[in-house]
Copies of this chain bind each other. A is one copy, B any other.
């Protein structure tokens, strides 16, 4: 193909992003070429800023521009409830419904030995330090309902059990809102039965 070198290079960068194939990358670059110079400079600057400015919260491990994230600094939140998540991104999803007023702790992944992610690579030490201080009354396990998520849950449950007085819970399993019984999978239906609640 006869594309200019600088265009090919940018297409390659976009094609490295998750979920973006070579065809989509091409389309994005052709779109960008048509845009205003200021927008492209802003975009480029923003990529550099995000790497230079974003660090991890010392308390919970989520991405933050300061030493402590806004959630850990928020005194109005319930610091005795800690919600364990795999990635910073999960916090964005869990915060949207506004159903949880505690704090978070980011593991940085899920146990997955086939991909070389063993428990020692997760952010567990600082969790234990937090538990050792004795302020935490409940840990909510909010990992994805997958094999890796369940493996991580089992492992963490054992660790948390070492600290008496800490209740361990996990997010409810069942039918998602708006679901159709006819199309629900067997595991979801089994979970909906076993976790049924009195009305």
Chain A residues in contact with chain B, CB under 8 A?
A: 1-7, 9-10, 13, 16-20, 24, 26-33, 37, 39-51, 53-54, 63-65, 69-71, 87-89, 91-92, 95-96
Contact of A42 (CB < 8 Å), options: B13, B24, B65: B13
> With a CB–CB cut-off of 8 A, which chain B residues contact A7?
50, 54, 63
| A186–chain B nearest beta-carbon distance, Å | 28
Known: A5-B65, A17-B31, A95-B1. A10 touches B50 (CB 8 A): yes
Write the chain B residue with the least CB distance to A66.
Answer: B4
Q: Indicate if the CB atoms of B33 and A54 lie closer than 8 Å.
A: yes
For this chain, the copies found in one complex come to 2
Write the chain B residue with the least CB distance to A2.
Answer: B70
| Residue picked from A1, A44, A64, most chain B C-beta under 10 Å | A44
> With a CB–CB cut-off of 8 A, which chain B residues contact A71?
2
- How long is the Cα–Cα vector from A26 to B33 in the complex, in angstroms? 23
Contact of A27 (CB < 8 Å), options: B18, B43, B50: B18
- How long is the Cα–Cα vector from A44 to B51 in the complex, in angstroms? 11
| A100–chain B nearest beta-carbon distance, Å | 13
Q: Indicate if the CB atoms of A65 and B4 lie closer than 8 Å.
A: yes
| A106–chain B nearest beta-carbon distance, Å | 11
Q: Indicate if the CB atoms of A32 and B47 lie closer than 8 Å.
A: yes
For this complex, 24 residue pairs linking A to B, each with C-beta atoms less than 8 Å apart, are: A1-B92, A1-B95, A1-B96, A2-B91, A3-B92, A4-B63, A4-B64, A6-B46, A6-B53, A7-B50, A10-B47, A10-B49, A10-B50, A13-B39, A30-B63, A30-B89, A32-B47, A32-B51, A33-B50, A33-B51, A33-B54, A37-B51, A40-B51, A44-B44
> With a CB–CB cut-off of 8 A, which chain B residues contact A3?
63, 92
Q: Indicate if the CB atoms of B54 and A48 lie closer than 8 Å.
A: no
- How long is the Cα–Cα vector from A50 to B5 in the complex, in angstroms? 9
Contact of A49 (CB < 8 Å), options: B9, B45, B51, B65: B9
